[in-house]
Amino acid sequence: MTTLTGRLRIGGQTIPRKYVPVLVTAGLFVAMFAAGSVRYEAFGTGQVILNVFVDNAFLLVVAVGMTFVILTGGIDLSVGSVVALSTMLAAVLLRDGWPVVAVIGLVLVVGAVLGLGMGAIVHYFEIQPFIVTLAGMFLARGLCYTIATDSIPITDPSFTAFAQATIPLGGELWITPSVVAGLVVVVVAAYVLHYTRLGRNVYAIGGSEQSALLMGLPVARTKIAVYTISGFCSALGGLLLSFYMLSGYGLHAVGMELDAIAAVVIGGTLLTGGSGYLLGTVLGVLVLGLIQTIISFEGTLSSWWTKIFIGALLFVFILLQRLISARRTGARST
Nearest C-alpha neighbor of 73 from the set 185, 226, 206, 172:
206
What is the DSSP track for 164-176?
H--EEEETTEEE-
Sign of CA dihedral 257, 260, 266, 272: negative
Q: Is residue 14 part of a domain?
A: no
pTM: 0.92
Q: Is residue 3 part of a domain?
A: no
Q: Is residue 18 part of a domain?
A: no
Q: Is residue 9 part of a domain?
A: no
- What integer pLDDT is reported at residue 1 of this predicted model? 40
Q: Is residue 86 part of a domain?
A: yes
What is the DSSP track for 294-319?
HHHHH-SS-THHHHHHHHHHHHHHHH
Q: Is residue 5 part of a domain?
A: no
DSSP SS3 for 333: helix
Q: Is residue 29 part of a domain?
A: yes
Tens-level pLDDT at each residue, the chain (334 residues): 444 345 555 555 666 777 788 888 999 999 999 999 998 888 888 999 999 999 999 999 999 999 999 999 999 999 999 999 999 999 999 999 999 999 999 999 999 999 999 999 999 999 999 999 999 999 999 999 999 999 999 999 999 999 999 999 988 899 999 999 999 999 999 999 999 999 999 999 999 999 999 999 999 999 999 999 999 999 999 999 999 999 999 999 999 999 999 999 999 898 888 888 999 999 999 999 999 998 888 877 777 777 888 888 888 888 877 776 665 555 444 5
Q: Under a CB-based contact definition with an 8 Å cutoff, are residues 106 and 236 in contact? A: no
Residue 102: give the domain boundaries: 24-333
Q: Is residue 223 part of a domain?
A: yes
How many domains in the chain?
1
- What integer pLDDT is reported at residue 19 of this predicted model? 78
Q: Under a CB-based contact definition with an 8 Å cutoff, are residues 162 and 104 in contact? A: no
